[in-house]
Amino acid sequence: MQGGQVTTPFGRRPMTLALVKRQVAVTARTPGKSVDKWSVFRDVSEARGVLGLQDRSLAVLDALLSFYPGNELRQDAQLIVFPSNAQLTLRAHGIAGATLRRHLALLVEAGMIIRKDSANGKRYARKGGAGEIENAFGFDISPMLVRADELAGMAQQVAADRAAFRRARENLTICRRDVRKLIAAALEEGAFGDWEMIEEVYFGLVSRIPRLPTLAEVAAILDEMDLLRNEIVNTLEMQQKTQNCSTNDAHNERHIQNSNTEFTNELEPRSEYEPGEKLSENRRPKSEPNQTFPLGLVLRACPDIGAYGPGGAINSWRDLMSAAVVVRSMLGVSPSAYQDACEAMGQEDAAVAIACILERGGQINSAGGYLRDLTRRTERGEFSLGPMLMAQLRSNGKMDSGIG
């Protein structure tokens, strides 16, 4: 900006403190700095959504830059272009006058250009005796030089976010396919499990996917969908182990009968599950150790525990475990009961269990007794935190469900 002066716009256009700030920032150029104008333009194009610009805005900016001689924006150069509206309209592919003015205003608002208006609002350059430009009135494009590094960083972040969004959507698509086909296979083959409830959770997650989701929305639903997939796989794995155990028992029974025909009645072992017996809730085979779930998912399912974190917030698993100790005492859970839960479930999952108990405290008569029951069921392989969390998520979504 020539002269390092703050200028006000011509006519009815108002002056704002934001414009003053931008003009002052332009005066503080880095000595010797230079950038390629089209490289900066590509960064602006990449970051247009963050900057609040539209495609037509970019067409107008492209036209403005075309009036600057050469490709290099330099600190010591005259960086004001002064085309008429007619010239701009022509280079901006015939854009209408009202549209041109609107997008020029957007470029000013985004801090890409600064107006330097003459006394009568006309755009022109005053030249010296040697033909050099002494003063010019029009559009100052020096903000693109000053903000070149910032704009490059914005463009890189937008590109990274776009790549992350693409990966998240691909992963969600694969996860949805896995869940849907696993549920279908389980239903068709009569696998043990509450598949109607699992299918209901699946459809609930799918219905929450917006038509134009953000990265955060896709990531949140992916966390829950991945948790559901893991629970389905764990359920199917437990059934497979049960079937393997039954097969081994039958093999051992035949071996004993063939080897000891005289003592068949005394040595015949009783299978843990009688043929055709339905596997009940309290006779499920021992599961693998519980997994640690995404912290964000836990906090969405159990938001109440957040108030008990350090400073009234939970930002890490350590914060959640600290909050669980406070809540444990508040709920009347004895130190020994909580210690047993930590040993059986792991410290993170025990903290999650406390968070779930806090969330449904009004429905639990004895928090300590309830936690001890969960601990015993975990030791027998009859309890997994996954369904508990999913039920709490459904409950928060105005759907009736239990917690364990």
More confident call, 197 vs 83:
83
Measured CA to CA, the distance from residue 172 to residue 109 in angstroms comes to: 37
pLDDT in tens, 76-121: 888 899 999 899 999 888 889 899 999 999 999 898 998 888 877 7
Q: Is 160 a residue whose pLDDT tops 90?
A: yes
- Coil, helix or strand at residue 72: strand
pLDDT in tens, 268-320: 333 333 333 333 333 333 334 446 678 888 888 899 999 999 888 999 999 99
More confident call, 109 vs 383:
109
Instruction: Sort strands 72-74 and 124-127 into parallel, antiparallel or unpaired.
Output: unpaired
Mean residue pLDDT across the chain: 79
Percent of the chain with pLDDT over 70: 77
Measured CA to CA, the distance from residue 93 to residue 86 in angstroms comes to: 11
Nearest CA-CA partner of 65 in 85, 86, 79: 79
Q: How confident is the model at residue 251 (pLDDT cuts 50, 70, 90)?
A: low
- Percent of residues in the chain assigned helix, strand, coil, to nearest 5: 65, 5, 30
Q: How confident is the model at residue 153 (pLDDT cuts 50, 70, 90)?
A: very high
- Output the pLDDT for position 131: 67
Q: Is 168 a residue whose pLDDT tops 90?
A: yes
Going 386 to 390 to 395 to 401, the CA torsion angle's sign is negative
Going 190 to 191 to 194 to 200, the CA torsion angle's sign is negative
Q: Is 13 a residue whose pLDDT tops 80?
A: no
List, as own/partner pairs, every contact residues 153-159 make where C-beta atoms lie below 8 angstroms and the sequence separation is at least 24, other chains included: 154/43, 154/46, 154/47, 154/50, 154/51, 155/42, 155/43, 155/44, 155/46, 155/47, 157/47, 158/46, 158/47, 158/49, 158/50, 159/46
pLDDT in tens, 22-58: 665 665 556 678 899 999 999 999 999 999 999 999 9
